[in-house]
Structure 1
Amino acid sequence: MRTKIVTILVFVLFINANAQDKKWTLQECVSYALDHNISVKQQELSKELVQEDITMAKGNFYPSLNSSASQSWNFGSYIDNYGGRVSRDSRSNSFGLNSNVMLYNGNRNKNNLLQVQKSLETAGFDLEENKNGIMLYVVNFYLNVLLNKESLIITQDQVDISKKQVEKAKTLVEAGSQPKATLLEAEATLASNEQQLTTAQNTLDLSLLSLAQLLQVSHKGFDVQDVDLTIDSKSLVYNDTDVIYETAVSNLPEIKSAEIAVERSGIAIEIAKGAYYPSLSFGAGIGTSYQHNQGDKDVRPIIDSNNNVVYVPNGFGKQLEDNLGYNFGFSLNIPIFNRFQTKSSVAKAQINQEIATLQLQDKQVKLRETIEKANADAKAALNQYISAQKSLLAQNESFKNAQVSYDSGVMTSFDFDQVRNRQVNAQSSLANAKYNFVFRTKLLEYYLGIPIVLE
């Protein structure tokens, strides 16, 4: 038993260790977010509601069928089934079956169906737009984590260098070749670098927390897969904003949704105009009834062959059979004057169509502006990256020379720290420019319909 418990504990620890060691790829993050995001699930349910609206709109083409039944009690006089007045308490039943179908109502049923079908298309594009937005959030958060990881490495390297400086300063002070102030300055620099390291670690932890919360997973042990991103001056291959715009305006769900909104508004005009036309419906029914005088038997008088009045049974089943009746008919409704309600409805529908058209144009204009800005940002980020790359090369050489000068005692620790800070700033600028450029490039790829991957 003890061995079995130990085995179970080892297995659980192994599972937990594996769960903590898992590093999420960008594709895994995107897929998980789309599968578990609450807003996505809500929109999927909204789409199902629209699907039910389609079922209801189709039902308007079918005839209705309703049955009825009643039970009533009469006290005092009443007219019986045979036209005679009876002064007795009684009870009665009635049963009916009725059907009605709309034959024509200005094509409103047809246009209502077309409108809800367009609504279903809109719901699908809105869902896709929401998913795309979540995907871009995930990409941005993921790249932010990678940037913070790289920043942490840069800061850790500075701490390592500062530790070596402190050890060397101790040796020089103990040998009497440097004053104690040299050691104090080195220790102060190390303390500052360690504080920066703590800040960098906190920044990384917060970015991982933000990504985990976006995915709606536990942040404990959460980490992402490291990606070695490299770019060069040829990385900006998506440079023609007109091509990008034409592709995006043809494929993006938000544009398609706005286009369908214009179509729906046109259908709404036809629905409103349908009230100008007459409507024609057909109805049919079947009904029967039963009456009973309280305290009497169910009988009815008849004249026999000898001209005598005799009473014959007239029970529940007999009355239902004898009283069975059928009906059918057409109903025509011709609108003549309805206080300008239809005219106003048509005018409002036309105004809504103009609004929908302007909203489509607004989205198209904003899309072009967004693409042009994203392209300009990508160019600027690439130029910043190239400049930062050149600056880092120069700062690395300067740092090497400063290291030699500092080791030989020619340069003070203060001057050496100034050179090293410039190198750190160049490393940070390069990292920021790189990830900024990568995100802007991926954004352009999104507008071109290219799947977003990191490589």
Structure 2
Amino acid sequence: MDSSATLEECIQYALAHQVDIRQAQLDEQIVDRTIKSRLADWYPQIGLTYNIQHYLQLPVVLFPDLNDPTGPRREIRTGVANSSTAALALNQTIFNRDVLLANRTSRDVLYQAAQNTTNQKINVTVEVSKAFYDLLLTRQQQSILQLQIERLTRNLKDATNQFRSGIVDKTDYKRATIALNNATAQLQQARQQAVVREAVLKNQMGYPVEKPLVITYDSTRLEVDAELDTNQVVSYQNRIEFQRLQTRRNLLRSEIDYARWSLFPTVSFFLNYNLNYQNQQFAQLYSRSFPNSLFGLTVGYPIYQGGKRRQNIRIAELQFERSDWDVTGLQNDIDTEFQRTLAQYKSDWINYQTLKENVELAREVYDVIQLQYKSGVKTYLDVLISQTDLRTAEFNFINAQYQAISSKIDVERALGQIDN
């Protein structure tokens, strides 16, 4: 991104580089891989095992004496000293509720991860927008202070000239000097505040701290950007929180099915092929093999678990029922948030319009008193007061302007209108 950036460019940069979003995108990939890992259990599972062993002492088996069946049994060592086995096993799941749940919920789980990323993007868009306007506000304050310094410099010159001409005493130019010094100090403070707010914006964007960042904005758009249609109504479906809750309810519904599937057995097919090697002499161990193979079906079903399955089903049903109240609670929260932010916006908008008029009045008063002072009608104290009133009116106006824009962002977020 170029060092000079608009609000839209700052937001786009943040969506591509901000830490929380990058982490959320990686979480999406992790979820995707996890789902694929679980679904892999549907495919045939093939494994190979190998072992080799040597008996230090052969096992002993007691056999009856065929010549004397009622007599003591004979001790006979069996087997061979060296043996080795290579076994190839194939297992195919036919029914398993864990694998079935993974297949049933894969789309919702992946969608849930994507919604988390969307939520992060909305948060970043809001925070970057507010940080951008906050920095712009500081820049505007610097401009106001710079203009004030220019006016105070002229006033100091006028007061000095009038003092030298004997029209006024020395208190006028001293007051002008004090006011100029104060304005210069305030400008330095504003510059330091701009450094801090620029750092905040860079942090919200994920922008390198060491790189310069100059924001650009069309000041004529500010009033347009502050306007909002206050007749809009809330649509819950537009809120990402509501969408995430609906996805969670789908997953809870699947949990009910999962609990009910415990009433069914697990079924799998297996096929084994074994190569056995046996020989008394180790060097001749692999000279001959004794293969065997088999296939079959494995069925597992717990007959009695003390009512555990029935309780798990009921737990899943209660969790889904509880999510109904989550929906109700979220709707109430959204309604409250919208009413609160809308009321705040209306208050800020009225304040903004009122202070806009104050700036024009304060500027007119200052211009008139400035002319009257030059004509000797007004004292410099009157000039200083009108100058302070003008600066205060300008500061209050831009603060109100940016507060209205900030409140508008909050309302748009409450309405689910923040574009990510």
User: What range is the shorter-chain TM-score in?
Assistant: 0.7 to 0.9
1:206 corresponds to which residue? 196
Take 1:220 and 1:234, find their aligned partners in 2: how far apart are those partners? Answer: 29
| Maintained 8 Å contact 2:226/2:405 | no
2:161 corresponds to which residue? 171
Matched, 1:94 2:85: yes
2:390 corresponds to which residue? 423
| Maintained 8 Å contact 1:71/1:92 | yes
AA of the residue aligned to 1:337: Y
Match of 1:265 among 249, 252, 257: 252
Which structure 1 residue ranges, 5 or more long, are not aligned?
1-17, 299-314
Count of residues in correspondence between the two structures: 405
1:189-209 superposed Cα distances (whole Å, 9 cap, x missing partner): 111111222222222222122
Match of 2:143 among 153, 176, 193: 153
Match of 1:327 among 294, 300, 313: 294
Take 2:221 and 2:31, find their aligned partners in 1: how far apart are those partners? Answer: 46
Which structure 2 residue ranges, 5 or more long, are not aligned?
62-74
Q: CA deviation at 1:292?
A: 0.9
Take 2:225 and 2:301, find their aligned partners in 1: how far apart are those partners? Answer: 72
Q: CA deviation at 1:388?
A: 0.7
Q: CA deviation at 1:144?
A: 1.0
Take 1:326 and 1:429, find their aligned partners in 2: how far apart are those partners? Answer: 89
Q: CA deviation at 1:46?
A: 1.2
SS in 1 for 2:305: coil
SS in 1 for 2:138: helix
2:18 corresponds to which residue? 37
2:262 corresponds to which residue? 275
Q: CA deviation at 1:376?
A: 2.1
Q: CA deviation at 1:354?
A: 3.6
Matched, 1:438 2:408: no
| Maintained 8 Å contact 2:159/2:173 | yes
RMSD: 2.7
1:285-344 superposed Cα distances (whole Å, 9 cap, x missing partner): 11131111138x96xxxxxxxxxxxxxxxx735x32xx2222122222232212333234
1:221 corresponds to which residue? 212
Q: CA deviation at 1:442?
A: 4.1
| Maintained 8 Å contact 2:152/2:179 | yes
AA of the residue aligned to 2:365: S
1:97-142 superposed Cα distances (whole Å, 9 cap, x missing partner): 122223224x442222222431111000000110111111111111
2:376 corresponds to which residue? 409
Identity of aligned residues (%): 18
Cα distance change, pair 88–285 in 1 and its aligned pair in 2 (3 A): closer
Take 1:241 and 1:391, find their aligned partners in 2: how far apart are those partners? Answer: 30
1:307 corresponds to which residue? none
1:4 corresponds to which residue? none
Q: CA deviation at 1:78?
A: 4.3
1:13 corresponds to which residue? none
Q: CA deviation at 1:420?
A: 1.9
Match of 1:389 among 349, 356, 361: 356
Match of 2:40 among 50, 59, 76: 59
Using the size of structure 2 for normalisation, the TM-score is: 0.88
Cα distance change, pair 140–267 in 1 and its aligned pair in 2 (3 A): same
Take 2:77 and 2:370, find their aligned partners in 1: how far apart are those partners? Answer: 124
SS in 2 for 1:117: helix
Q: How does 1:12-411 map to 2 (within 5 A)?
A: 22-78=3-59, 86=77, 90-105=81-96, 107-215=97-205, 216-230=207-221, 236-242=227-233, 245-246=234-235, 249-294=236-281, 316-317=286-287, 319-320=288-289, 323-411=290-378
